[in-house]
Every structure is written in structure tokens, then in C-alpha cells.
Amino acid sequence: MTKEKFLEEKCRDLHQYLKTDIRYDLNFFPRPFFVEVTGTPDSGKSTLIEQIYNDLRKEKLRIWKPQEGAQVVQDIPRDTPLYNISTGFYAINLLMHLSKGHQYDVVIFERCCFDMFVWIEDWFSLGKLNAEEKRAWQDHVALSRFYVNNIDAAYFVVCEPEESMKRAMELSTTKKVGGTTNPKKVRVLVEKYRTAFDKLSDNYQQLELIDTTRLKKKEMVALFTAKVLEALGKKAKSVRD
């Protein structure tokens, strides 16, 4: 038996054992559900993600919440568009790879495609990107048709500056404010997210805006959980039907 024939025969046995015709068929085993949560500082994003993560795990679903890009990208200063381009690429790369497999049932991103769209807008308003660069990054990268619609549910979570700063100070050991966690910047970002939602929501039906300013922790968790479960249930039903 030639080497080629031997390899072919053994690989045929491997394919049969591993059921690769099914294992890699996304029509048979669907990809995971993908959820993106982004928004303004101290609006409750991390709390909401943690709660839905815990709730779904208790229901014996396999959930993953990847590390946020801001925790991964430490070598690029935050005063350049490259920072948000890098954090965006990090999340989008995960999205692309995970959408071709079946390791998880639900993946919850804290910032991904839509987050990148908003931050590119912010850098443009600061004069660090020109109009052509803004369009290229937003339309051809952040909202690329090759992956953006794999985000099954996306949420812009916002909180007005006064309440946002109050929440931040409750747990902080210093009264110093950060580059994006000061009242002036939070106000700008709230407007950016609201404007982006108005611009995108007609074409991206999976996108919702949640204002947590007047919601207590228990109320916003209940609202968010209901919205996520409804969105994923609706997606599952549409695929099944």
C-alpha cells in the first residue's frame, strides 16, 4: 500500500469516528449565540454581564465571557485611536473564530463590533481621524458584513454623568477621575452612544439602548436579563422555524 493510500484510509477512519461531516456543519450544529454589551462608564455593564452569565450557567448552558479588550491591550496608550482599534480587533477576531465552532452555547462580549463603531466616532470628533478614515474603520471594519450580524443581541448601556460619578465614587479609593470617567467625558459619551443608536438601529435590529440612570441594581438586572432571554429565544425560534 502506498503512503498516500495509507494516509487516505486512516483519515477516512478518523473522519468516521469524529463525525466531521456533522461536527463542522453549522446547519446541523448551530454556532453559539453572541451578545455584545457596551456603553458608558459605570452604567452597570459588568454587573449585567455577570448576572446573565451566572443565570445561564445555572441552566446548564455553556457560557463564556471573554476578557474585555481593555484588560488585554496594555501596551498601547489610550490617547490614540490605535487603542480602540486594537481592542476592537481583539474582540472581532474572537467573534470570527468562535462563530465557526461549537465550543460554547452563548458568548457574552463586553465591547465588540458596535463598541468599535462608537469609539471611532469619538476619535473623529477629537480630530485624530479624518472623515475618510472614520468611514473606512466604521463601515468596513466595525460593521463588516462578514461578522457583525453574528452578534445576535447588542446593548448600548448608558447612564447620565451625575449618577455615573456617584456609582464610581461609591467603590473608589481615590477621588481622582480618569480620562473617560469624568463628568464631561461621560456626558460626551452618552450623547455618542445615543446618536450611534439612532443611526444604526434601523439597520441592526439586534441593537437596543438601555438607560440605567434611574434604575436600581435589581431593576436593571431584571430588565437586562429579560431582554437577553427574549432576544435569544426569538433568534432560536426563527432558526427552528
Q: Is residue 37 part of a domain?
A: yes
Q: Is residue 187 part of a domain?
A: yes
pLDDT value, residue 219? 96
Q: Is residue 46 part of a domain?
A: yes
Enumerate the H helices of the chain as residue ranges: 3-18, 20-23, 45-58, 69-72, 81-98, 113-125, 131-137, 161-171, 183-200, 217-240
Tens-binned pLDDT, residue by residue, of the chain (241 aa): 798 898 999 999 999 998 999 888 888 889 999 999 999 999 999 999 999 999 999 999 999 999 999 999 999 999 999 999 999 999 999 999 999 999 999 999 999 999 999 999 999 999 999 999 999 999 999 999 999 999 999 999 999 999 998 988 776 554 555 566 688 999 999 999 999 999 999 999 999 999 999 999 999 999 999 999 999 998 888 776 6
pLDDT value, residue 29? 86
Amino acid letter for position 4: E
Q: Is residue 3 part of a domain?
A: no
Centre a 10 Å sphere on the Cβ of residue 189 and count the other Cβ atoms it contains: 23
Q: Is residue 64 part of a domain?
A: yes
pLDDT value, residue 238? 79
**8 Å CB contact between 106 and 30:** no
120: Cβ contacts below 8 Å, ≥ 6 apart: 81, 84, 85, 129, 134, 137, 138, 142
Q: Is residue 13 part of a domain?
A: no
pLDDT value, residue 178? 53
- The C-alpha cell at 71 is 484588560
Q: Which domain holds residue 197?
A: 28-240
pLDDT value, residue 64? 97
Domain tally, the chain: 1
pLDDT value, residue 24? 86
**8 Å CB contact between 106 and 232:** yes
Q: Is residue 110 part of a domain?
A: yes
pLDDT value, residue 32? 95
91: Cβ contacts below 8 Å, ≥ 6 apart: 66, 69, 109, 111, 112, 113, 115, 116
Q: Is residue 22 part of a domain?
A: no
CATH of the domain at 206: 3.40.50.300
pTM across the whole model: 0.90
pLDDT value, residue 180? 67
The number of residues in the chain equals 241
The C-alpha atoms of residue 160 and residue 212 are separated, in whole angstroms, by: 8
In DSSP notation, 122-175 reads HHHHTTSS-HHHHHHHIIIIIT-TTTGGG--EEEEEE--HHHHHHHHHHH-S--
Closest alpha carbon to 213 in 53, 50, 47, 40: 40
The C-alpha atoms of residue 135 and residue 190 are separated, in whole angstroms, by: 21
